[in-house]
Amino acid sequence: MAALRGFLALAVCLLLGHQTFAKNDAPCQLSKWNNGYNTFVKRHIRDGTPASLNNNEWEKYIKNNGGCDRPTQSFLHPKDLDRVKDVCTNRGGKTYKENLCISKQPFTFVTVRSQPGTCGIKSIREETKHLILACEVLDNQCLPVHFEGNPDHLKPNNNAKGCQDPQTGDHAPSFKMTWFWLLSALLVGLFIYGY
């Protein structure tokens, strides 16, 4: 019986741990990654990016600023920071899927593709597309934490809800009764009541 209880306790911890590290199922929920916004800015909205599409300049920039381990990188203009943050609000974004929002307006940015691990540039392209961003709550503000590619040039659905900033009070975090939670509740019940 003690072994069964130990197994059940371990199973509950593993199942709850899976939920703790799972991706949010809607935008503007509490982030599970405290440094997500700062990492997003460091990767995608950097000062000092080359003003041209010159391979040598971009290769030197990426080598000097890190990023050789990332084969595709997109860089937004620092002057667009407030507009980018607005994608995670009703003002600038619509819900897309899961924790992703899509911008109401297109943005112009540079995408650099390089050889993995070498920093050798394969292509540099200026693109104008609607941004798809993962938006999560940090310090009571819904902020971008991830830049999702938009290879199909998707646009926002006019019927979609706006990306909700939790300060507006319009969006409560969702709670889905998944089979993980149901099984967890069952196992806790078995553990507590000893059935």
Question: Cα(132)–Cα(107) distance, rounded to whole angstroms?
Answer: 11
Tens digits of pLDDT across the chain (195 residues): 554 444 444 343 444 444 444 568 899 999 988 899 999 999 999 999 999 999 999 999 999 988 888 999 999 999 999 999 999 999 999 999 999 999 999 999 999 999 887 889 999 999 999 999 999 999 899 999 999 999 999 999 999 999 985 555 444 444 443 444 434 544 445 555 665
**Residues whose CB is less than 8 angstroms from the CB of residue 145 and which lie 6 or more positions away in sequence, other chains included:** 31, 33, 36, 37, 39, 40, 133, 134, 135, 136, 138
pLDDT at position 2 is 52
Domain ranges of the chain: 24-168
User: What does the pLDDT read at residue 17?
Assistant: 44
CATH of 24-168, one of 3.30.465.10, 3.40.50.970, 1.20.1250.20, 3.10.130.10: 3.10.130.10
Let me know how many helices (H) and strands (E) the chain has, helices first.
Answer: 5, 6
Question: Token match 């003690």: residue?
Answer: 2
* pTM of the full structure: 0.74
Q: Alpha-carbon distance 167 to 141, whole Å?
A: 7
The Cα–Cα gap between 28 and 166 comes to: 6
